[in-house]
Structure 1
Amino acid sequence: MSERQYLGQGTTTSAEKFWYILGCVYFGAAYMQKVPVKKALSEYGLVEMTGAEKFWYVVQCIFFGAGYFAKVTIKKALSEVRSSSGFPAV
């Protein structure tokens, strides 16, 4: 069983760091998957997107709305988070 983590205070294991970097090296796939997540979190005021992330989100949206549709499912999941989970309700 893994230890409970809180937004802004989480950690990644060595294996998770390795696979993320490997995913980024492979045509930036891991980075591109992260961008819609950051967009959803930014709309709740939990993070700020960098200029590069904003640019790539727009590029993803231009190509058949891929960035937007990925963000929608993430926002739906965030909307179901209960405030008793250790961080402010969104």
Structure 2
Amino acid sequence: MAERQYLGQGTNTSWEKFWYVLGCIYFGAAYFQKVPVKKALSEYGLVEMTGAEKFWYVVQCIFFGGGYFAKVTIKKALSEVRNAGGVPTV
């Protein structure tokens, strides 16, 4: 079983880092998948998006609609997270 991680204190394995970089090299696919997740987290006040992430989120929403629809799914999952002692309540 994997070791429990907490928001802001998690780590990636060497292989996870490798595959993320490889995914970013391949047309930025991994980066573009991350943007809607960061948008959802930012709406909960857990992270702050960079200017580039804000720009690409808008582009995803305008041209694909995918950015928004991906964010909706992620926010639904986040709304079901119970505070388990690692996530501060706001």
Assess same fold via TM > 0.5. yes
Equivalent position amino acid for 2:87 in 1: F
The structural deviation recorded for 1:63 is 1.6
Percent of pairs with identical residues? 87
**Per-residue displacement from partner, 1:5-46 (whole Å, max 9, x unpaired)?**
000000000000000000000000000000000000000000
Equivalent position amino acid for 1:11 in 2: T
Aligned to 1:25: 25
Point out where structure 2 has 5 or more consecutive residues left out of the alignment. none
Aligned to 1:8: 8
Does the Cα contact within 8 Å between 1:82 and 1:89 map onto a contact in 2?
no
**Per-residue displacement from partner, 1:53-73 (whole Å, max 9, x unpaired)?**
000000000023110000000
Equivalent position amino acid for 1:36 in 2: P
Deviates more, 1:59-68 or 1:41-50: 59-68
Point out where structure 1 has 5 or more consecutive residues left out of the alignment. none
Aligned to 1:59: 59
TM-score w.r.t. length of structure 2: 0.95
Deviates more, 1:76-85 or 1:16-25: 76-85
Moved over 6 A (4+): none
Aligned to 1:34: 34
The structural deviation recorded for 1:85 is 4.7
The structural deviation recorded for 1:50 is 0.2
